[in-house]
Amino acid sequence: MGGFRRSKGMRPVETAQELERRRRHAVELMWRGESPTVVARILGVGGTSLYRWLALAEKAPEALAARPISAPGPG
């Protein structure tokens, strides 16, 4: 769905910058009045993620910034 490759976990296989761009795009679309259902379908994300990103953007826009992907801990 959405054409995004996924790692073994839930996170898509994209750079941190690509993920940030997607979060910001989702928030902008919703601020413009686009339906969360449509945004979720376009970007291949869940509604829970959309609402979490929207809340973060309203509270502190820098919270949507790229974060490096952390490696799993030892065993």
Q: Helix-strand-coil percent breakdown of the chain, rounded to 5?
A: 55, 5, 45
pLDDT of residue 10: 58
What is the band of 71 on the pLDDT scale with cuts at 50, 70, 90?
A: low
Higher pLDDT, 29 or 13: 29
Find the mean pLDDT for residues 1-10. 50
Average pLDDT over residues 23-28: 94
pLDDT in tens, 34-56: 999 999 999 999 999 999 999 99
Q: Is the pTM value of this prediction over 0.85? A: no
